[in-house]
């Protein structure tokens, strides 16, 4: 709702509203992947950074870009609202793209005065990285709010719209992958074979048009008003639980304090009591006799720092339950990080010519196979697997969210195994053709040897990335859904920083004692195959940890009955909601 008004179901929300949101996401993904996938090529060929420095530069930028949404998500949920945050961030994003265009167009800001040089201007580097990090600031509100704002257009308490929302995440990623495909094919081709400046002009223009399209859908949107800082109620629960730490818990959870649903004025839904992290339940203990007879007026008499509702306690439990899942998905993010760095650089060293006319594929365009793998996966999953699994399991989703994430993590391990085998073969070919022969340039081995690892990582993304989006949107408190999407993105951001840290540590360790580094001055003097084997082993071990955590996870339980007393039996009559 907007300004306190309840939206009309017939004229607002659902697909007619979410499609406007999908349009601006398409533009953002086109821009981001048009820049990100070819960034390592630009840094090594135009700015002339060495392989290690370029890989770390990409990881640092990707890390900041995917961690900034934590700030944007918090501001959206607490103060600005999702619509306003999207609009502000889109304008900042547009400013970053405009500055990037100027760094290639204005003579004094160009990398060189001639077509090629070995020492680009320092001013260009400063302006270039300033533009990149301005784009990072743009994603601060863009990424956490766009997806959650689109999901907000579907009513969780309406059966038909709730089912549409489950498909929404799949088709959101379909549109996302369409943007990626164009970004890593058309935009990358323009960058490599026409002009980096022309590519930047195209991206800037598309973003400007998408902002206009987003504003055109304003009258169809359903809005959620910001509710203030989501961290304050959680701190209140913790303080109240500590203050009442010596009080015994009642044997019947129904005696814990909760506002009846009929008197609930919060925008979020009421949650049912769970037995885990029972110490926090003490925050909801009623200290005075007779309190339970008039629970509706208790909060007017008691400080929220002394007494919390069961729902507020459960919301804190939800956030704490996210932490183990977040940590256990970091190694998956490590694999994703290689797709836009070392995988692309491998392609740059291989034979990329196709057809009789010798057309050469841009190195970053091979990333399109990952997008193809993801598009095929989400389409087959949504149209074929989900209906089939619904009949087999009786689960509205087919399989639960954490099972979907786990399946994708298996594919990520397989990706790294295949990548290690392919890289070992590539090194063997390079040794024969370049190192021993003293030649330079690309080796004869076809770039399509990389196709399996890109396709499989795309399939894994179709399970794990979409699953993580659903998980972090659904399993946070209703008032924190923008922040929830930011938590999902922070997995990828933290993984990028972790990847850079691993490169630094491994580089130091492998060079000690006079040994050759795994990360040499170029790929032909490196041992990426060993790095990939390390990641494969880490993923396999981590998968065991993840399965242990996932088997013990308790999903969010939303109360759909009117009387709070119905939660006294935590399973009977309650519907498990994956919104």
Query: For the residues 489-505, what does the mean pLDDT come to?
Result: 84
Q: Is the pLDDT of residue 407 over 50?
A: yes
pLDDT tens track for 20-34: 887 788 888 888 888
CA separation for the pair 35, 45 (Å, rounded): 15
* pLDDT-derived band at 452, boundaries 50, 70, 90: very high
Element of type H or E holding 353: strand 353-354
SS3 2: strand
Residue length, the chain?
A: 579
- Determine the Cα–Cα distance for residues 77 and 141; give it in Å rounded to an integer: 11
Asked if residue 442 belongs to a domain, the reply is yes
Same domain, 193 and 327: no
> How many domains does the chain divide into?
2
Residue 254 lies in a domain: no
Do 542 and 407 lie in one domain? The reply is yes
Query: Do 196 and 328 fall into the same domain?
Result: no
297 within some domain: no
Contact 25, 312 (CB under 8 A): no
Paired with 12 in beta bridges are: none
Instruction: Indicate whether 188 belongs to any domain.
Output: yes
Q: Is the pLDDT of residue 2 over 50?
A: no
Is residue 304 in a domain? no
Out of 198, 228, 258, a domain closes at 228
Asked if residue 456 belongs to a domain, the reply is yes
For residue 349, the enclosing domain spans 322-553
Task: Indicate whether 503 and 389 sit together in one domain.
Answer: yes
Looking up residue 112, the CATH number of its domain turns out to be: 1.20.1250.20
Q: How far apart are CA 286 and CA 249, in angstroms?
A: 10
- 286, part of any domain: no
> Residue range 52-58: average pLDDT?
81
User: What's the pTM value of the predicted model, to 2 decimals?
Assistant: 0.74
Contact between residue 442 and residue 352 where contact means Cβ atoms under 8 Å apart: yes
> Are residues 540 and 413 part of one domain?
yes
Task: Please tell me the distance from the alpha carbon of residue 231 to that of residue 74, in angstroms, as a whole number.
Answer: 9
**Last residue of some domain: 195, 228, 261?**
228
Strands 557-558 and 575-576: antiparallel
- Do 185 and 326 reside in the same domain of the chain? no
Q: Which helix (H) or strand (E) holds 125?
A: helix 122-151
Which residue, of 177, 205, 228, is where some domain finishes?
Answer: 228
CA distances from 421 to 49, 273, 294, 450, 530 (A): 27, 50, 68, 10, 10
Residue range 540-563, pLDDT digits in tens = 999 999 999 998 888 877 765 444
Residue 69 in any domain: the answer is yes
Output the pLDDT for position 301.
62
Mean pLDDT of 459-474: 86
**CA atoms of 259 and 28, how far apart (whole Å):** 42
């Amino acid at each position: 709702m907007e300004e306190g008004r309840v939206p009309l179901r017939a004229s607002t929300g659902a697909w007619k509203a979410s499609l406007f949101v999908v349009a601006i996401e398409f533009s953002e993904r086109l821009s981001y992947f048009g820049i990100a996938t070819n960034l390592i090529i630009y840094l090594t060929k135009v700015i002339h950074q060495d392989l290690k420095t370029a890989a770390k530069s990409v990881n640092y930028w990707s890390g900041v870009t995917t961690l900034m949404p934590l700030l944007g998500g918090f501001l959206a949920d607490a103060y600005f609202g999702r619509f306003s945050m999207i609009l502000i961030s889109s304008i900042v994003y547009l400013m970053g793209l405009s500055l990037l265009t100027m760094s290639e167009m204005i003579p004094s800001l160009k990398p060189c005065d001639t077509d090629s040089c070995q020492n680009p201007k320092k001013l260009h580097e400063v302006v270039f990285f300033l533009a990149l990090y301005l784009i990072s600031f743009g994603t601060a509100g863009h990424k956490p709010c766009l997806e959650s704002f689109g999901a907000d257009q579907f009513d969780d308490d309406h059966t038909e719209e709730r089912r549409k929302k489950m498909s929404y995440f799949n088709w959101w990623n379909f549109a996302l992958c369409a943007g990626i495909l164009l970004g890593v094919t058309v935009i990358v081709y323009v960058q490599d074979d026409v002009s980096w400046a022309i590519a930047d002009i195209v991206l800037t223009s598309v973003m400007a048009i998408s902002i206009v399209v987003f504003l055109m859908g304003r009258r169809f949107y359903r809005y959620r008003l910001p509710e203030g800082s989501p961290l304050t109620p959680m701190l209140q629960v913790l303080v109240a639980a500590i203050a009442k730490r010596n009080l015994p818990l009642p044997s019947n959870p129904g005696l814990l304090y909760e506002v009846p649903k009929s008197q609930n004025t919060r925008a979020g839904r009421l949650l049912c009591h769970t037995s885990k992290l029972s110490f926090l339940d003490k925050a909801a203990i009623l200290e005075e006799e007779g309190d339970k007879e008039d629970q509706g007026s208790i909060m007017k008499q008691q400080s929220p720092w002394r007494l919390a509702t069961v729902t507020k306690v459960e919301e804190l439990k939800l956030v704490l339950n996210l932490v183990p899942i977040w940590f256990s998905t970091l190694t998956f993010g490590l694999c994703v990080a290689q797709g836009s760095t070392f995988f692309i650089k491998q392609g740059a060293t291989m034979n990329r010519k196709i057809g009789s006319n010798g057309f050469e594929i841009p190195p970053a365009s091979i990333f399109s196979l990952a997008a193809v793998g993801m598009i095929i996966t989400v389409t087959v999953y949504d149209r074929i697997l989900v209906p089939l699994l619904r009949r087999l399991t009786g689960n509205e989703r087919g399989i639960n969210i954490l099972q979907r994430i786990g399946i994708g993590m298996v594919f990520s391990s397989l990706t790294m195994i295949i990548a290690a085998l392919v890289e070992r073969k590539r090194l063997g070919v390079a040794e024969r053709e370049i190192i021993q022969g003293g030649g330079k340039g690309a080796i004869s081995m076809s770039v399509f040897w990389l196709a399996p690892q890109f396709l499989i990582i795309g399939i894994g993304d179709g399970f794990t990335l979409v699953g993580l989006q659903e998980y972090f949107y659904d399993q946070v408190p209703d008032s924190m859904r923008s922040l929830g999407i930011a938590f999902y993105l922070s997995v990828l951001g933290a993984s990028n920083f972790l990847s850079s840290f691993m490169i630094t540590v491994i580089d130091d360790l492998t060079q000690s004692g006079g040994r050759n580094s795994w990360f040499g001055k170029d790929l032909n003097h490196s041992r990426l195959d060993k790095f990939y084997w390390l990641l494969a082993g880490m993923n396999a071990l981590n998968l065991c940890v993840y399965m242990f955590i996932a088997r013990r996870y308790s999903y969010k339980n939303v109360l759909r009955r009117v009387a709070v007393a119905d939660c006294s039996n935590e399973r009977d009559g309650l519907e498990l909601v994956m919104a």
